[in-house]
Structure 1
């Protein structure tokens, strides 16, 4: 599996309005092409294909 639940991911799909935004994998559906639900970008579910995401660094907490 490319990503696991809770992984921080960055959107790399250049055609997407969410390009370069970071969210968290919240759900995985093995039986669909857009199998990764990424939370934390919008208030509604966003689903992406594996090639549209890369693993991102977790956000740094401000001191």
Structure 2
């Protein structure tokens, strides 16, 4: 195997645009994760607390 082969394969991979698609997917995934976390913590959990007797789950965290 030539030493230049991995470098040329990497350049081909970047040229195909897969890196850009993957980067956009990671950014959108991170933003979506924050939206879901906010939705659960700020909207769903308070409603659930009211429905099951006014318990407050804001202190609950998975360790």
Q: TM-score, normalised by structure 1?
A: 0.19
Which structure has more relative contact order (CA 8 Å, sep 6+)? It is 1
Q: TM-score, normalised by structure 2?
A: 0.19
More helix per residue: 2
